[in-house]
Amino acid sequence: TVYPDQRSASLAVAARIAKLIREKQALGKPAVLGLATGVTPIQVYAELVRLHREEGLSFANVITFNLDEYYPMLPEAAQSYVTFMNEHLFAHIDISRANIHIPDGTLAPDAVAPFCLAYEKQIEELGGLDLQLLGIGRTGHIGFNEPGSAPNSGTRLVTLDDLTRRDASRDFGGKQNVPVKAITMGIGTIFKAREIILMAWSRKKAPIIRKAVEGELSGEVPATYLQLSDHVEFVLDEGAASEL
């Protein structure tokens, strides 16, 4: 779906999330959301905060699983996805802390694999993700599933692509400070969500959006795997859609 601009697209995505939360509330059930970081979802989160403050949208029944986190990473670091999520969403809504899940960047190396398995299991035991939000990196990564990721991959420790580290270098004051690794949900984890929304804004994302939507299916561009899903929607502004 192509919207005239990022703002109208973000409001539409936030409205869909709010509708899902309210429907689940009416059924007395939790809404299980997969969340993304990056610049892309910021306006969606801002609108959810506004709906909470001004229209009484409650997040009391919401359970969240974030896609990824740098490794190693302290939660209190300015660049952590914990800090990002608190700043843009969690600190401003009535979600229970116990319902927030973000991959743990502080684990000892031998604790990472068991943590990843447990992350998958927690999602499964809740009946799976109702909705997964995605951005897209310039390598075609979703979450931190870089080129070479398998379509059935699960939550795991990955090595970041050089381009991804370069793109993150501004946040870290230089590429040399960007962690080399990250913990990410897998493509297989993302695929199991009942609904997937991938968002992209501006001409900067147009070439990778073209590859993801129209390019040949390839592990070199992990987002092309989404072509295999019948429950994914690309939500774009005109800039990001300009090469389709």
Determine, following the binding rule CB under 6 A, whether residue 40 of this chain makes contact with ligand GLP: yes
Determine, following the binding rule CB under 6 A, whether residue 130 of this chain makes contact with ligand GLP: no
Q: Who contacts 97 (Cβ-Cβ below 8 Å, separation ≥6)?
A: none
Q: Who contacts 73 (Cβ-Cβ below 8 Å, separation ≥6)?
A: 79, 80, 81, 105, 106, 179
CB closer to ligand GLP, 105 vs 135: 135
Determine, following the binding rule CB under 6 A, whether residue 78 of this chain makes contact with ligand GLP: no
Q: Closest approach of Cβ 85 to ligand GLP, in Å?
A: 12
The CA-CA-CA angle for residues 64, 105, 155, to 5°, reads: 60
The CA-based diameter of the chain, rounded to the nearest angstrom, is 49
Q: Closest approach of Cβ 99 to ligand GLP, in Å?
A: 20
CB closer to ligand GLP, 18 vs 34: 34
CB closer to ligand GLP, 65 vs 144: 144
SS3 17: helix
Of the listed 47, 69, 120, 146, which one is catalytic? Answer: 146
> What are phi and psi for residue 159, nearest 5 degrees?
-100, 130
CB closer to ligand GLP, 57 vs 200: 200
Determine, following the binding rule CB under 6 A, whether residue 149 of this chain makes contact with ligand GLP: no
Q: Measured between alpha carbons, how far is 33 from 130 in angstroms, rounded to an integer?
A: 6
SS3 86: helix
Whether 146 is a known active-site residue: answer yes
The span of 49-57, 83-91, 105-113, 129-137 binding ligand GLP (CB under 6 A) equals 129-137
Q: How far is CA 135 from the centre of its chain?
A: 6
Question: Which one of 18, 32, 36, 82 is in contact with ligand GLP (CB under 6 A)?
Answer: 36
The span of 4-12, 34-42, 189-197, 208-216 binding ligand GLP (CB under 6 A) equals 34-42
CB closer to ligand GLP, 19 vs 166: 166
Tell me which residues in 174-213 interact with ligand GLP (CB under 6 A). Answer: none
Q: Measured between alpha carbons, how far is 232 from 214 in angstroms, rounded to an integer?
A: 14
Q: Closest approach of Cβ 227 to ligand GLP, in Å?
A: 18
The span of 17-25, 36-44, 45-53, 104-112 binding ligand GLP (CB under 6 A) equals 36-44
b vs e for 114-141, b when ≥16 Cβ sit within 10 Å of the residue's Cβ? eebeebbeebeeeeebbbbbbbbbebbb
Q: Considering only CA atoms, give the Rg of the chain.
A: 17
What does the binding site for ligand GLP look like in residue numbers (CB under 6 A)?
A: 36-40, 67-68, 135-137, 143-144, 164
